[in-house]
Structure 1
Amino acid sequence: MGLSPRLTGRASARAHSSPAAMAFLRKIEPFFAGSDVTGGPLLLATILALVLTNSPWARAVEGFWDTSVAIRFGAAGVSHTLAEWIDHALLPLFFVIVGADVKREMVAGPLAHWRSAAFPLAGAVGGMLVPVGLYLLVAGGTPAAPGWGSVITTDTAFGLALIALFATSLPVGLRALMLAFAAVDDVGGLLVIAFAYSDAIDPRGLITAGVALAGIVGLRRIGWVSSVPYVLLALIVWGGVLESGIHATIAGVMIGLTVPVAPRLHQRDFAQRVQRRVDEFQSAHGAAESADDGEEERQLREQAEERLGYLQEMASATRVASSRLIEILTPWVNYVVLPLFALSNVRIHFSADLLPMIGSPLVLGVVLGLVVGKPLGFLGFTWAASALGLAERPNRVSWPMVVGVGALAGIGFTISLFIAGLAFGAGEMREAASLGILIASLLAAAIGYGILRRCAEPRHAAEAPASS
């Protein structure tokens, strides 16, 4: 969590010249900087979207996002609004990161043991069923009933950003727990989108996506290194899922789960492989520096370059593909994808007509489902799974911390807003649902932050073994 080691070192050096400024930056850096998905740019974009939606330019702004954009190949083509293209083409990049990150945590991280992995899985099941039950208890049988899907998902970016505020005072397993829970939660939401909010599913698109996904796995099996075929096949997976009628974000999760979490060459083997090439490079480079004949110097420099190429490839092979992919995509997701999603999807018009909706079954159902249902379902199902011996809390994660993660899970922003749009279309009902999601997310963030703040301890204390 937080900044990379290099950036951390630079920040420490700058602190000597401006301690007050650096103290402030350390408090906000989890929201705006680092190697993980952060919520700061998304938060600023949300505020800007709310301001624009309630400004004299609201009609022009919404008209811009509703502009139709078509892609055609001869007679065939597909057309969506600009906002829909952001949902279908850009948002999947966020879920590629989620899929890859979850796989890394479950293969080589705190959730590597099956009982530890079962813990967030149980919580995710409870975190979906209980909120939906509470929502339908309030809004079932009313025109608001179709909005039940909006209380299923968790906003991963905001949740992880709040946990990152305590990066040095909470166990690392807590982030993995939040990430895995949110990933399963989001997949559940995407399946709800596919089967509850999609008109029809075209099996041809799913077959195409499945074949391309099998191609990615096949290339991995034979050890193919070049990234070009993987990118092309990933695009086919995305296109197949989009064509099938299932929301394309699920393609991002599928692609992320195929990314390797182990390097092609372990560091312990690196020195044995490259030592001879390093000596040969040093010899060729030294000989080229002292060569009198131009042709001989050219040949020696080519030999040195060849050795450098070998060393470069071997060094690249020590990097984990999932870490590299996350590193490449994260800045784009933080500063482009998620802000554009907020700008195009947050459309709450604060007016006298909307205020009475605060007490409506729709808003109350959303708030109750997210603020109460999420932590209740998460805690209840994880406790039951642990009591039955089916799951185990990640190391050093206490039950109060579990409650804090459950509370943060009530921040149901990105996909919740998207599902609300699918459930109600444009109009007053969608705005009321969006208002409920906004209120619930603020409450859940405040409650989760307060709980985790009380749980936060110095690192040495946080790493003490938790009682079972």
Structure 2
Amino acid sequence: MSQEQSACGQGQDDEFARQTGHQLRRFIRTEAGSAGLLVVASLVALVWANSPWSESYVDLWHTTVEITVGSMGGLSMDLHHWVNDGLMVVFFFVIGLEVRREFSVGELTDRRRLVVPLVAGLGGMLVPALVYLALNSSGEAANGWGVVIGTDTAFLLGVLALVGPRVSTQLRIFLLTLTVIDDIVAVSVIGLVYSESIETVPLLVAAAGLVALVVLARVGEWRASPYVAVVVVMWIATLESGLHASIAGMLAGLLVPALNPTRSDVESAASSFRAFRQSPMPGVQRTARQSLTRAISVNERLQEALHGWTSYVVVPVFALANAGIDLRDGVLGEALRSPVTWGVTLGLVLGKLTGIGLGTFGSVRLRLGSLPQGVGQGHTLAGAALSGIGFTVSLLIVGLAFEDPDLQAQAAVGVLMSAVLASVVGWLVFALAARFFDQRDAALPRLLSDPVDPEVDHVRGPADAELTLVEYLDYECPFCAKATGAANEVRAHFGDRLRYVSRHLPLTVHVHADIAALAAEAAAEQGRFWEMHELLFAHQDELEVEDLAGYAADLGLDVEEFLRALDDERLAARVRRDLVSAEASGVRGTPTFFVGDQRHLGAHDARSLIEELERSARRTTGRFGA
């Protein structure tokens, strides 16, 4: 079983929150929430471009804006280029930040999770390109193959929320991983294939910027301003070099480090904050602010600052600037007869469905990887269909691939048609998967897979108690220590009405978690499990073998027998049993509680647990009578 680093300490109030880390939840919700604004901006652009005031639309985006610094010169572009070559760099920079975070501390830290979406993502780009080229094999039209390789994450997640399963957390994670791969390749194609002639000196300056970002990360620079300054220089240099600036944004984002908060940084921040409460002086306030800032990686702070702007400003403005296609004077009729339009439409709608579907099915059948728990082939096919919404990246490439305005219009019509058709096809596939294969919720299991067995489990309280609270825990997880304290309050509240069950889930990110779990089992062999349980949580920073031996001595255990038990395969199998049951029960982080046989989705404080247990008691009473 694999556990991501962000899992430790999750404690949210809904299914989505309990299955995903904070950053991933924020990313998905922001992207999904911006989809509606994106649609509105696109419709406004279309109506404006086809209205009596269409000239004002054209004139607006051809307005020249120049930024100069004294006699040093500056940048001069029309508004359309400022949007596509300027604002969109921020968009791709945020994507790069998210990709780096997912590889460093997120869903992709476990490389086994990467295989299926990687194969599916590559298939979802290769097959659409082949479909397009089958209809447009020569001339300038052939340059448009890149239009069909991209997927618009914002639109995809927004439509998924409308037409997908009621709970689709696992599918969302799978699709987000797939679009991460898609974005990397798409931006590389934009930068390398659709760029103009290359200027050497600016290109070297941009390369020096990449080196500077690596150096900043290596020396542990925690302030955001040096990274931002380097990215601005890289952007200007990339523009001057002839490469499309989007590649600078993506590469820069990939090089900004992402780290989970360390315990020492968090404790330092807490100490500084307490000092400020005691002495609210300017110097103490500055130190406290710096300590709080350093506890969060520069990658996540930049995402926090920029993500809302890109989702709610940059992408809608891009849609406003690029979706305004004048369909009058026979343009729409000509587009519907054009192989470019149909190449784009079939490439995105049919090509994405086929490529991603075959890539997923083939990699699973060849046992290269597996689908996320709770996700079926029907879900992935529907998600593959929705991946045919290529709006943002596709429209960007339309402007780069074609010089002929007629071809640009025809390709753009294909992009708009495919967004509608892909949404309809995705909805149909979801409906078919639910009806014929019972693939409804694409979520983790919520039922406790292995019922409590007093002969095997560690149980506090009467074995036949009315209420049951099961906790999956990690002895090195600081959140578990707090949750266990809450569990003690819960036990005190219910008394003999409750049995509390402790199960192991040592996370791979905690180096002493496994040996601590074995120590608890070794103490259990001598009848002192709960005493060792309390000691391990009381000394989370001291879990070396020597420390464990000392705790055994303090408890009056036979230390030699205790140490031998740490290497006992029978006890290791006991810990693995809990790991397997956690996996089958949909547990992905610690602490995770089950009230009865149902996974608890709320907070881990004593009050929340007591309320949920009382609700469970009322349901049981209502079911069987007073």
Q: Normalised by the shorter chain, which TM-score bucket?
A: 0.7 to 0.9
Paired residue type of 1:171: T
Query: Which residue of 2 is the match for residue 250 of structure 1?
Result: 247
Instruction: Check the 8 A contact 1:130/1:374 in 2, yes or no.
Output: yes
Instruction: Check the 8 A contact 2:335/2:409 in 1, yes or no.
Output: no
Instruction: Check the 8 A contact 1:31/1:40 in 2, yes or no.
Output: no
* Correspondent of 1:148 among 142, 145, 148: 145
* Correspondent of 1:139 among 136, 140, 149: 136
Paired residue type of 2:55: R
Give the Cα–Cα distance (whole angstroms) in 2 for the partners of residues 119 and 190 of structure 1.
21
Larger radius of gyration: 2
Instruction: Check the 8 A contact 1:347/1:431 in 2, yes or no.
Output: no
Paired residue type of 2:323: V
Give the Cα–Cα distance (whole angstroms) in 2 for the partners of residues 100 and 276 of structure 1.
30
- Alignment map for 1:397-436 (pairs within 5 Å): 397-425=375-403, 427-436=405-414
Q: Secondary structure at 2:76's aligned position in 1?
A: strand
- Alignment map for 1:220-369 (pairs within 5 Å): 220-263=217-260, 265-267=261-263, 270-271=266-267, 273=268, 281=276, 284-285=278-279, 302=281, 305-351=282-328, 353=330, 354-369=332-347
* Correspondent of 2:356 among 378, 394, 397: 378
Alignment CA distance shift 1:342-1:426 (3 Å): farther
Paired residue type of 1:63: D
Gaps of at least 5 residues in structure 1 are 10-29, 286-300
Comparing 122-131 with 350-359, greater Cα deviation is found at: 350-359
Give the Cα–Cα distance (whole angstroms) in 1 for the partners of residues 205 and 266 of structure 2.
39
Alignment CA distance shift 1:460-1:366 (3 Å): closer
Comparing 226-235 with 421-430, greater Cα deviation is found at: 421-430
Shift of 1:389: 4.1
Alignment CA distance shift 1:395-1:96 (3 Å): farther
Paired residue type of 1:161: G
Give the Cα–Cα distance (whole angstroms) in 2 for the partners of residues 214 and 392 of structure 1.
37
Give the Cα–Cα distance (whole angstroms) in 1 for the partners of residues 231 and 298 of structure 2.
15
Query: Which residue of 1 is the match for residue 48 of structure 2?
Result: 52
Paired residue type of 1:208: V
Name the count of aligned residue pairs.
422
Q: Deviations over 1:14-55 (max 9, x none)?
A: xxxxxxxxxxxxxxxx99974877312111100000000000
Shift of 1:248: 0.8
Q: Secondary structure at 1:246's aligned position in 2?
A: coil
Paired residue type of 1:56: P
Alignment CA distance shift 1:281-1:368 (3 Å): closer
Query: Which residue of 2 is the match for residue 171 of structure 1?
Result: 169
Shift of 1:232: 0.8
Comparing 231-240 with 174-183, greater Cα deviation is found at: 174-183
Give the Cα–Cα distance (whole angstroms) in 2 for the partners of residues 37 and 92 of structure 1.
21
Shift of 1:199: 2.9
Alignment CA distance shift 1:418-1:154 (3 Å): same
Paired residue type of 1:86: V
Shift of 1:372: 0.5
Q: Deviations over 1:281-339 (max 9, x none)?
A: 56x55xxxxxxxxxxxxxxx54xx54444333333333243332222112211222111
Give the Cα–Cα distance (whole angstroms) in 2 for the partners of residues 99 and 394 of structure 1.
23
Gaps of at least 5 residues in structure 2 are 1-9, 15-25, 448-582, 586-626
Q: Secondary structure at 1:55's aligned position in 2?
A: coil
Identity %: 34
Instruction: Check the 8 A contact 1:111/1:394 in 2, yes or no.
Output: no
Query: Which residue of 1 is the match for residue 422 of structure 2?
Result: 444
1:457 and 2:441 matched: yes
Alignment CA distance shift 1:239-1:274 (3 Å): closer
Instruction: Check the 8 A contact 2:125/2:149 in 1, yes or no.
Output: yes
Alignment CA distance shift 1:112-1:449 (3 Å): farther
Instruction: Check the 8 A contact 2:265/2:291 in 1, yes or no.
Output: no
Comparing 130-139 with 75-84, greater Cα deviation is found at: 75-84
TM-score by length of structure 2 reads 0.61
Q: Deviations over 1:114-156 (max 9, x none)?
A: 1212322222221111111111112223653222221111112
Give the Cα–Cα distance (whole angstroms) in 1 for the partners of residues 108 and 400 of structure 2.
34
Alignment CA distance shift 1:445-1:188 (3 Å): same
**Whose helix proportion is higher, 1 or 2?**
1
Give the Cα–Cα distance (whole angstroms) in 2 for the partners of residues 130 and 185 of structure 1.
13
Shift of 1:269: 5.8
Give the Cα–Cα distance (whole angstroms) in 2 for the partners of residues 458 and 278 of structure 1.
42
Query: Which residue of 2 is the match for residue 298 of structure 1?
Result: none
Query: Which residue of 2 is the match for residue 292 of structure 1?
Result: none
Q: Secondary structure at 1:39's aligned position in 2?
A: helix
Alignment CA distance shift 1:320-1:40 (3 Å): farther
TM-score by length of structure 1 reads 0.80
* Correspondent of 1:61 among 40, 50, 57: 57
Instruction: Check the 8 A contact 2:31/2:153 in 1, yes or no.
Output: no
Q: Secondary structure at 1:169's aligned position in 2?
A: coil
Q: Deviations over 1:353-385 (max 9, x none)?
A: 121431321111111100010121112223333
Alignment CA distance shift 1:80-1:142 (3 Å): same
Give the Cα–Cα distance (whole angstroms) in 2 for the partners of residues 324 and 129 of structure 1.
35
Give the Cα–Cα distance (whole angstroms) in 2 for the partners of residues 329 and 461 of structure 1.
34
1:214 and 2:192 matched: no
Alignment CA distance shift 1:85-1:40 (3 Å): same
Paired residue type of 2:204: I
RMSD: 3.3
* Correspondent of 1:194 among 188, 191, 195: 191
Q: Deviations over 1:405-449 (max 9, x none)?
A: 211211011121122222223522211111111001111122224
Shift of 1:162: 2.7
Alignment CA distance shift 1:465-1:150 (3 Å): farther
Give the Cα–Cα distance (whole angstroms) in 1 for the partners of residues 226 and 270 of structure 2.
32
Give the Cα–Cα distance (whole angstroms) in 2 for the partners of residues 100 and 419 of structure 1.
22
Give the Cα–Cα distance (whole angstroms) in 2 for the partners of residues 81 and 376 of structure 1.
39
Give the Cα–Cα distance (whole angstroms) in 1 for the partners of residues 446 and 241 of structure 2.
47
Paired residue type of 2:168: L
Instruction: Check the 8 A contact 2:388/2:418 in 1, yes or no.
Output: yes
Give the Cα–Cα distance (whole angstroms) in 2 for the partners of residues 37 and 249 of structure 1.
24
